[in-house]
Amino acid sequence: MSQLKQIEKKWQARWEAAHIFEADPDPKRKKLLVTFPYPYMNGPLHVGHTFTATRVDVYARFK
């Protein structure tokens, strides 16, 4: 388990140094906010969940 923690620390340091999780938005583009309803745990996941998530993702990327 300690080896996994060392590996995690190594990658976290690399990501932080590379600013992986920092956005560089284009100030000329209009802002867009999209929401995605998370699936409820009242039944098993099915292809409809994937369809909804994919629609939101594609719309946000290409709008």
Please give the pLDDT value at position 59: 92
* Residue 46, amino acid: H
Domain limits, the chain:
25-63
**Three-state SS sequence of the chain:** CHHHHHHHHHHHHHHHHHCCCCCCCCCCCCCCCCCCCCCCCCCCCCHHHHHHHHHHHHHHHHC
Residues 16-61: pLDDT tens digits?
999 998 988 889 988 888 888 777 777 788 888 888 889 989 998 8
> 31-48 as b/e, with b when 16 or more CB fall inside 10 Å?
eeeeeeeeeeeeeeeeee
In the predicted structure, residue 1 carries a pLDDT above the cut 80 = no
pTM score of the predicted model: 0.48
User: Which of residues 44 and 12 earns the better pLDDT score?
Assistant: 12
Please give the pLDDT value at position 35: 87
